[in-house]
Every structure is written in C-alpha cells, then in structure tokens.
Amino acid sequence: MIKKILIANRGEIAIRVMNTCREMGIQTVAVYSEADYSSLHVSYADEAYCIGPAPSAESYLNIEKIIEVAKKTGADAIHPGYGFLSENAKFSQRCKDENIIFIGPAPYAIDTMGDKITARKTMMDAGVPVVPGTKEPITDLDDAVKVIKEIGLPVMVKASAGGGGKGMRLVEKEEDIISSVKAAKSEALSAFGNDAVYVEKYISSPHHIEFQVLADNHGNCVHLFERECSVQRRHQKVVEETPSPIMTEEVRKEMGKHAVAAAQAVNYSGAGTIEFITDDNLNYYFLEMNTRLQVEHPITEEVVGLDLVKEQIKIANGEKLSFKQEDLGQRGHAIEVRIYAEDPDNNFMPNPGKIEHIQFPLGPGIRNDTYVYNGFEIPIYYDPMISKLVVWGANRSDAIQRMKRALKVFKINGVKTSIPFLYQIMEVESFVKGRYTTHFIQNNEQELKMRADCNMECAEIGTIVAFLDYMNKREAKLSSINEESASSKWKESGRKFRFLI
Ligand code: ADP
Ligand code: ADP
Ligand code: MG
C-alpha cells in the first residue's frame, strides 16, 4: 500500500495531488526549485526539499535528484503531475529500477504514444481512425512536395515529438511547402531535440474533442466520456467543457470505444487522454494520446463524480477499477477556464509579477484549482498559469451563467490576467450557442478584444483600489501582531521543512 507520495511538480497540480493524498491518509513530499521557495506547494506538503536552481532542467527535470529525495524520504511512489517529467519514459523506468511506484503508465506506453509517428502506426493497426497523412517521417524535401500534393493542401506539418502546441505548421500554398517543412524541422529540433516531422491533412472546421480513459493492471479499461477543447490560442487550450455541445449519443459511444481500443493497444495503465480532431459532421480522427493526468481533468471529475487522482493512486496500488463502463454517466455540465498572468492587450505575452491582492469567487458549483496567494510573486521561469477556474451547472446555460458570475468577482491586483478576455468568451454568440471550432478566438478577435476593453468600468476600478488599500493596511497590521505567535506555532507543529544536502 502506498503510504507516502513524492510529487514531482509544482504549482496548482502539486496542490491538487496533495489534496487527494490527504483525504486518503497518504503522506506527501514536495520538491521545489530555488525560485519556488515561497510557493504554496512547499508549505502545503508534509515535507519539502529543494532540488536545485530555478531553470527546470536543473530542478523539476532533474531525474536523479528527484529519485534521491524519494529514496531518502522513503516515498513509495512518485506522482509526476502534467508537463515536466510526466511523459518521460526514462523517468518511469528509473522509478521502476528503484522500486518506486511511478503513478502513470509503463515506459513502453509512454514511448509508443510520445512519438506521434509511432502512435499513428499503432492506432492504424488497432483500427482507430487517424488523420489521413504520412506513415513515415519526411526526410527529403522533394519528397515532401510530392507527398503533400498527393494528400492535398491544406496540410499540417507536425513534429513527431511535439507537445504543448509546438512544432506545428499549417501549409496552405504549394510555394510554402519547403519553407514550412524546414521551419517545422528546426523548431522541432530546438524544442524537442528531435527533428522528425510528418504530414497530416488539415481538417477544416476542426473541433478538438478528447476522451478520458482509466485502465487498471488487470485488463479493465473504461472511458469517462469527452471534453470539448476547441477554444484554443496558438494550438493551446483556453476553455474546456463537458459534455461537448456538438456530441451525439451515437458518436459518443463509438468514439468512447475507439478511445478504449487506443489505450488497450499500448497495454495502458492509469489515467490517460485520447485526443481526437473532428470535423463539423463529427467524422473523427486520432490526434495523440497524453499519457498522464490532463490539465483539464477537473471538468470530467465534476460531471462524472470521480476523483481522478484517487483513481490513479488506487490503480498504482494494484487495485481493480471499482466500476464498469455501464456504471458511469455524465451529470450536468462543467466548464474550465485557464487563468493566466498574461496581457491580452499585448499579444497575450506572459506578465509575471507580484500578486498584490487576490479575491477568489465562492459559492455553489465553483472550484478554483490554484496555488497563488496575496503577496506571492509569480516566478518568471515557469508556465504563468494562476488558476483553473471550474464551474458545474445543471445544464450548459446554467454553467455559462455561473462562470460569468465567478469571473466577475475574481479579482487579481498586481499582474495583468486573461480574466476579462475569458469573460468575453462567455458572451460571444457562437460560444453561447455551442457552435464553435478551433478558429473561435481568431474568428472573434475583434469582438473579444473590444468587449474586454469596455468590461473595465471606471467606477468599479475605483472601488477596488480603495478596497485593496484598506485590505493591505489591515493585513500588514494583522501580520505584525501575529508574527510572533505564528512562528512559535510553526516550531511546535514539528513539520519537517529542510534542504537536502
Ligand atoms: P493539456 O492538453 O493537458 O493542456 P498540453 O499538451 O497542452 O496538455 O501540455 C500540458 C503541459 O505540459 C503544458 O504546460 C505544456 O507546456 C507542457 N508540455 C506538453 N508537452 C510538452 C513537451 N513535449 N515538452 C515540454 N512541455 C510540454
Ligand atoms: P500537441 O501535442 O502540441 O498538443 P496536437 O496534435 O494535440 O499537438 O494538436 C494540437 C492542436 O492543433 C489541436 O487541438 C488542433 O487544434 C490543432 N491541430 C493539430 N492537428 C491538426 C489537423 N490535422 N487539422 C487541424 N487542426 C489540427
Ligand atoms: Mg494535444
């Protein structure tokens, strides 16, 4: 039985995992970089250890250091979260070698799905529809022109090792083929250290619809229905919802079966996501599999009524799934928005800095997965996501109303955020009607920006500034009063908090 878990991650996901550990009576070990000394995940864990300097390559990606902390603290398992080492087959293998449970799939599944060309071939053999395109990497530029003409423009040139929306080029004109292939190759090499690229037919009017799967180590595999993630910017998700507003019961059943077949084709274990691209007629094609917990997993939790981290831990413990496909259903509607420290008026450039004051929305149906607090300085080294705001409603329009209420009262002072922009998304007609594609933000850019500007009411800003000023003064006073008693409590609690030398 797992008694202690090291969380090899930071930010909201580290805290998310620790919350479930607490409910299960499992001890938690945090690791952190020097830049994260005052991060909430550090004080949230039962134990916390510094593993190196700020750059990820020297801390959160340092496999040996993380393994060393796990061994010294006697952690029986490691949860990798998402990003960082979560899809690193070497890390999964190193854990195995050290008799530490990796809360995720075996190295074989990560490797097969991590390379998109290999994944496509595996899916074809398993009878899962893939986007029409090349089976092998493009090596010769003349070949590229020939192959792309055969597939028919427009196409996507994609990095086989790609992820996070990087290493992708849309090619619409014949004269752009060679330069696009070259550009995709060099971007892939610098981002992933691997320049293999392949070609996919560009699906027009695309919808990104993905299926959550769960598989145990006893041959059982179920899907937890779909998530619609078509509101994207630079091929990265901005808003996610479930159920998908364009899904039909018939297609859901079929896609769900294919998602399970995809996972079983690599003998999958744990929680994973099969991403599909679909057209307006709900013809669907496998895009990729993410062999980890997904950023947007909370919307599935809200609608299906399961704790996915708990399921991951139970599977890692060797338990059988405690439900069958026919036991599962979707109840109500959930939406997630990713709130970033970024400037919508400056091309969404990251805008890290100090959070002077933050006010979270409260009330029925609201969940806020976050790691920031008043006075927290968002480090410049990592993804500038502040919070994942998730709402649940009895139906889609209730959920949209609830999201608007939540975003209206969600105040962050000190850094610019995407909150006004996200609010506007909830008002655009095609979103409200549920008729949108991955081009949604691009197609509505002017409206989204224009409205975001007028959302800022001067009167409201004045009230906030006055309120913040009052709060800051009050907090300064309270903290000076409490400082002494707080520090003695800290000592008494006996919490282990130290550097590992
Ligand atoms: P999701 O669908 O969960 O949003 P993404 O593919 O966007 O998944 O990735 C989630 C996180 O992992 C993001 O922070 C992203 O930047 C990071 N990420 C994904 N793939 C890679 C990769 N190959 N290399 C580095 N970071 C990655
Ligand atoms: P990543 O690993 O970076 O997440 P994906 O293959 O999942 O890459 O693609 C990310 C996004 O790019 C998709 O959600 C979709 O919006 C767009 N995309 C990828 N392939 C295609 C395609 N063949 N046609 C249209 N859009 C695509
Ligand atoms: Mg993807």
CATH code (residue 162): 3.30.1490.20
Q: For the whole model, what pTM was predicted?
A: 0.90
pLDDT of amino acid 164? 82
The active-site residue out of 10, 252, 292, 338 is: 292
Ligand 2 atom closest to the Cα of residue 131 is 23
Distance between CA atoms of residues 18 and 37, nearest Å: 18
CATH number of the domain where residue 12 is located: 3.40.50.20
Ligand nearest to the CA of 291: 1
pLDDT of amino acid 346? 87
Do 305 and 240 sit in the same domain of this protein?
yes
pLDDT of amino acid 336? 99
Residue where a domain terminates, one of 331, 359, 381: 331
Residue 496: partners with Cβ closer than 8 Å, 6 or more residues away: 46, 47, 48
Domain extent for 258: 205-331
Nearest to 193 by CA among 224, 215, 161: 161
In a domain, 398, yes or no: yes
Do 239 and 186 sit in the same domain of this protein?
no
Pairing of strands 168-171, 155-159: antiparallel
Tell the residue nearest (CA) to atom 16 of ligand 1.
164
In a domain, 497, yes or no: no
Ligand 2 atom closest to the Cα of residue 200 is 23
Ligand 2 atom closest to the Cα of residue 162 is 2
pLDDT of amino acid 90? 98
In a domain, 301, yes or no: yes
In a domain, 115, yes or no: no
Instruction: For ligand 1, say whether the CB of 385 is within 6 Å of any of its atoms.
Output: no
Ligand nearest to the CA of 86: 1
CA of 77 to the centre of ligand 2 (A): 32
The tokens for 133 are 């395109």
Domain count, the chain: 5
Do 317 and 227 sit in the same domain of this protein?
yes
Residue where a domain terminates, one of 302, 331, 360: 331
Contact 209, 247 (CB under 8 A): yes
DSSP E strand boundaries for 3-100: 4-7, 27-33, 47-52, 77-79
Residues with CB under 5 A from ligand 3 (ion): 275
Distance between CA atoms of residues 156 and 169, nearest Å: 6
Taking 70 as the pLDDT cut, the residues of the chain under it are 452-501
Rama region for 394: left / alpha / beta (φ>0; ψ in -120 to 50; rest): alpha
Instruction: For ligand 1, say whether the CB of 208 is within 6 Å of any of its atoms.
Output: no
Tell the residue nearest (CA) to atom 24 of ligand 1.
163
Do 218 and 325 sit in the same domain of this protein?
yes
pLDDT of amino acid 206? 97
**Sign of the C-alpha dihedral computed for residues 267, 273, 278 and 283 taken in this order:** positive
Do 188 and 214 sit in the same domain of this protein?
no
Whether 292 is a known active-site residue: answer yes
Q: Which residues pair with 380 in a beta bridge?
A: none
pLDDT of amino acid 296? 98
Residue where a domain terminates, one of 169, 201, 233: 201
Ligand 1 atom closest to the Cα of residue 86 is 12
The one-letter amino acid code at 245 reads P
In a domain, 453, yes or no: no
Nearest to 212 by CA among 263, 161, 283, 287: 263
Do 343 and 315 sit in the same domain of this protein?
no
Distance between CA atoms of residues 256 and 87, nearest Å: 23
Ligand nearest to the CA of 56: 1
The structure tokens 């990798």 sit at 80
Contact 191, 236 (CB under 8 A): no
CATH number of the domain where residue 435 is located: 3.30.470.20
In a domain, 122, yes or no: no
Do 357 and 381 sit in the same domain of this protein?
yes
DSSP E strand boundaries for 341-433: 342-343, 349-350, 357-359, 366-370, 385-393, 411-413
Mutating to test ligand 1, I would choose from 110, 187, 277, 295 the residue with most ligand atoms within 8 A of its C-beta, which is: 295
H-run or E-run covering 179: helix 177-192
Instruction: For ligand 1, say whether the CB of 228 is within 6 Å of any of its atoms.
Output: no
- Three-class HEC string of 109-129: HHHHHHCHHHHHHHHHHCCCC
In a domain, 45, yes or no: yes
pLDDT of amino acid 138? 95
Pairing of strands 385-393, 77-79: unpaired
CA of 147 to the centre of ligand 1 (A): 29
Tell the residue nearest (CA) to atom 18 of ligand 2.
235
Do 363 and 295 sit in the same domain of this protein?
no
Instruction: For ligand 1, say whether the CB of 294 is within 6 Å of any of its atoms.
Output: yes
The tokens for 230 are 């078509």
Contact 368, 390 (CB under 8 A): yes
Ligand 1 atom closest to the Cα of residue 162 is 23
Do 429 and 404 sit in the same domain of this protein?
yes
In a domain, 112, yes or no: no
Tell the residue nearest (CA) to atom 14 of ligand 1.
83
Do 209 and 298 sit in the same domain of this protein?
yes
Ligand 2 atom closest to the Cα of residue 203 is 24
Mutating to test ligand 2, I would choose from 134, 192, 208, 234 the residue with most ligand atoms within 8 A of its C-beta, which is: 208
Nearest to 418 by CA among 457, 455, 379, 371: 455
Instruction: For ligand 2, say whether the CB of 235 is within 6 Å of any of its atoms.
Output: yes
Do 173 and 218 sit in the same domain of this protein?
no
pLDDT of amino acid 497? 44
The number of CA neighbours under 13 Å toward the Cβ of 110 is: 19
Tell the residue nearest (CA) to atom 4 of ligand 1.
295
Do 226 and 294 sit in the same domain of this protein?
yes
Distance between CA atoms of residues 203 and 244, nearest Å: 18
Ligand nearest to the CA of 156: 2
The number of CA neighbours under 13 Å toward the Cβ of 431 is: 29
